[in-house]
Amino acid sequence: MSVNLKKPDFSAAVFDLDGTLFDSMGFWNSLDEVFLRKHGVDRVPEDYLLDIAHLGAYDTALYTKKRFGFPESPEEIMEEWHTDALKFYSTSVQLKPGARGYIEMLRGAGIILGVATANSADLYLPALDRLGIRSLFSGFAEVNECQRRKGFPDIYELACSRMGAEPADTVVFEDIYIAVKGAKDGGFRTVGVYDAASSRDTQRIREEADGFIFSFADLLS
């Protein structure tokens, strides 16, 4: 299958946020470096970043605790992350180049939009409000609401149900391979979105997805 992104051949679209619409992975990578260094880990393992990219906050904290043997509880780890993240999302996070223009174009064409994210509402909703785009989306779904993670279609199906859309008519935009594969396994068409944080998986994403973009700005010309 293929996807026509400039003249949409779909009636609904579900977007991941971090690394897809939000230019935020640099913040998370920096936060990981500072946190791990503070707790005695001098270097962030490359596979760690990919392993946690599709997880919700609690599962990320639990994975981090187990992997590095930290004595803190997952809740204590989450709280340490949360303070800095709340400030970043409420004051600083920006959209990727062209993202605003593209989602506004889709809404103008009557496409229903939704969000499927591993982030939490107390972080991403203030960001969407500050950026002035929250009203463009008709449904929101979080990994923490689903029994299975983004390697499965559950979160995209949940987003669709809240949007009033059907998977067969919906395109999913994601920046990591496991999420693209999970959406495809659910019968969604998929578009891979380049992000430097997942660049080592770019070729796999391009092979798996029905479409691929390096920048939303390329879709506006």
Q: What percent of the chain has pLDDT over 70?
A: 100
Give the rounded distance of the alpha carbon of 54 from its chain centre.
8
Confidence grade of residue 81 (pLDDT, cut at 50, 70, 90): confident
Confidence grade of residue 84 (pLDDT, cut at 50, 70, 90): confident
Q: Which CATH number fits domain 12-23+94-219: 3.40.50.1000, 3.30.390.50, 1.10.10.10, 2.160.10.10?
A: 3.40.50.1000
Whether 80 has a pLDDT exceeding 90, the answer reads no
Residue 187's region, left for phi above 0, alpha for psi from -120 to 50, else beta, is left
Burial 146-165 (b: 16+ CB within 10 A, else e): beebbbbbbbbbbbbeebeb
Residue at 142: amino acid letter: E
Confidence grade of residue 178 (pLDDT, cut at 50, 70, 90): very high
pLDDT tens digits for range 194-206 = 999 899 999 999 9
Q: Is the pTM of this model over 0.85?
A: yes
Whether 101 has a pLDDT exceeding 90, the answer reads yes
pLDDT tens digits for range 53-66 = 778 788 999 999 99
- For residue 68, what pLDDT is reported? 95
Interatomic CA distance for residues 152 and 52, integer angstroms: 15
Pairing of strands 170-174, 211-213: unpaired
Average pLDDT estimate for 72-90: 91
- For residue 73, what pLDDT is reported? 94
pLDDT tens digits for range 125-143 = 999 999 999 999 999 999 9
